[in-house]
Amino acid sequence: MWGVEDVARATVRRQGEGLSVVQVADKVAEAERRERECQQELSSPGVDRGFYEGDPAEIAGQWVARHAEWSRVAALMDGQGWPVYSPERDVQGSTWAQERDIQRKGALARRAAWQMEQQDARDELKAQVWLNADTSRRLRAIAACAGLSAEQVLTQLADRVRMDDNGTLAVDAFTPAVN
């Protein structure tokens, strides 16, 4: 859902809160060093990276994004004369955070709607009904008079069915109607 820049921005906002200019400069230097180390590792073929270390190109991309974001925060603090970083005062960072939050909420809403559709699909009953020719003709004639398909008439019939105490099924008289 989020790209490496989004993750870097969220990480910097979370880790940067309350850091001084010197501490942010240290974070910039660390990100720059890690970015350089990752690039060197990528350009060194044949090095055993181990099973748990992850994709070096992905890790390098993460450090490139963090370096860029820490550098942006350092420049912002320098330009605004802030002694300490405050994510709430960072207009651009706050805008990005709000956009990410809107994206997240939208994704969650889409996921919930999809899950509801899946549940509805599991709850639906799809059946084939084989009727003799005479019953089929009568059903089609009723449906044609009502301006419905035979399936729509059967659906309305099924909606009105009730079970009596003795287990028999009954349907009161009704006129099929277009909904």
Convert the pLDDT of each residue in 126-169 to its tens digit.
888 899 999 999 999 999 999 999 999 999 999 999 999 999 99
Same domain for 132 and 79:
no
Same domain for 54 and 138:
no
Same domain for 50 and 84:
yes
Same domain for 68 and 143:
no
Domain that holds residue 27: 4-122
Number of domains in the chain: 2
Same domain for 66 and 132:
no
pLDDT at 50 over 70: no
How much of the chain, in percent, has pLDDT values that exceed 70?
94
**26: how many CB neighbours lie within 10 A of its CB?**
13
Same domain for 163 and 152:
yes
> Would you list the DSSP string of 144-172?
HHHT--HHHHHHHHHHH-EE-TTS-EE--
Same domain for 29 and 47:
yes
C-alpha 126 chain-centroid distance = 30
